[in-house]
Amino acid sequence: MSPLRRRLMFGVPLALAVAGGEGFYILLRRMQTQKYDPHALPSPLIGKRPPAFTLPGAAGMAGFTNTDIAAPPKPMLVNWFASWCIPCAEEAAMLGRLAQQGLDIWGIAYEDDTRNLAQFLATNGNPYRRIAADADGTTAINWGVYGVPETYFIDKTGIVRWRYAGALTDDIVTSTLNPLLAKYA
């Protein structure tokens, strides 16, 4: 056996094992720092307008239709939430801060009940300019919502640019939302 072949037979599998280990390490690191979520799905709505809907208001606020978000004066968020959803209560403080900074956030209460919703807003604050109620979840299915909370970023032309499933965290806001706000301002 030539020395080159001997070296290859030792080196190639070793290099493959090292590359594999490195790959898994990066994957796990990114999962740990919440930069990668293996359960997250790309939304087919990205690059499109939300499907037609007309939803009544809730909690004394005006509801809205797809035409109301077809051309917002500045980029906005549509946040799907529910009073029965624990991560929604967790992200409420973050939404409150974003609203304070001047970001328009419109809420859609998913399969919620009036009294619980009022209670939820009283407890966690109300960052929403409008709140619509999707009582039977039909609009959610048309949007491809598969859980709450889900947040959609809509640009000035009414096109969905980003969907995030799960509670918004500081990391997500700094790494993704703020750059998007700058890009589509």
Partner 1 sequence: MRRLIFLLLLLPALALAQDMVTRDGVTLTQTQETRAENIGGQLRCLVCQNESIEDSNAKLAGQLRSIIRTQVVQGVPDKSILQYMVQRYGIFVLLKPPVSPFTFMLYAMPVLALLVGFSAFWFGRRKTGAPAPLNADEAARLEVLINE
Could you say which residues in the range 114-173 bind partner 1, by CB under 8 A?
137, 141-144, 146-147
Answer positive or negative: Cα dihedral of 4, 6, 12, 15. Answer: negative
Contact present, 157 and 75 (Cβ < 8 Å): no
Which string of x and - marks every residue 27-46 that binds partner 1 (by CB under 8 A)? ------------x-xxxx--
Output 11 or 137, the one with its CB closest to partner 1.
Answer: 137
Output 142 or 176, the one with its CB closest to partner 1.
Answer: 142
Judging by DSSP bridges, how do beta strands 150-154 and 76-81 pair with one another?
Answer: antiparallel
Q: In angstroms, rounded to a whole number, what is the distance separating the alpha carbons of residues 153 and 165?
A: 12
Output 122 or 141, the one with its CB closest to partner 1.
Answer: 141
Q: Measured from the CB of residue 103, what is the shortest distance to partner 1 in angstroms?
A: 27
Backbone angles phi, psi at 119, to 5 degrees: -60, -45
**CB-based contacts of 65, cutoff 8 Å, min separation 6:** 52, 53, 54, 55
Output 87 or 96, the one with its CB closest to partner 1.
Answer: 87
Q: Measured from the CB of residue 84, what is the shortest distance to partner 1 in angstroms?
A: 11
Q: Measured from the CB of residue 140, what is the shortest distance to partner 1 in angstroms?
A: 8
Q: In angstroms, rounded to a whole number, what is the distance separating the alpha carbons of residues 168 and 185?
A: 20
Q: Where on the chain is the footprint of partner 1 (CB under 8 A)?
A: 9, 39, 41-44, 111, 137, 141-144, 146-147
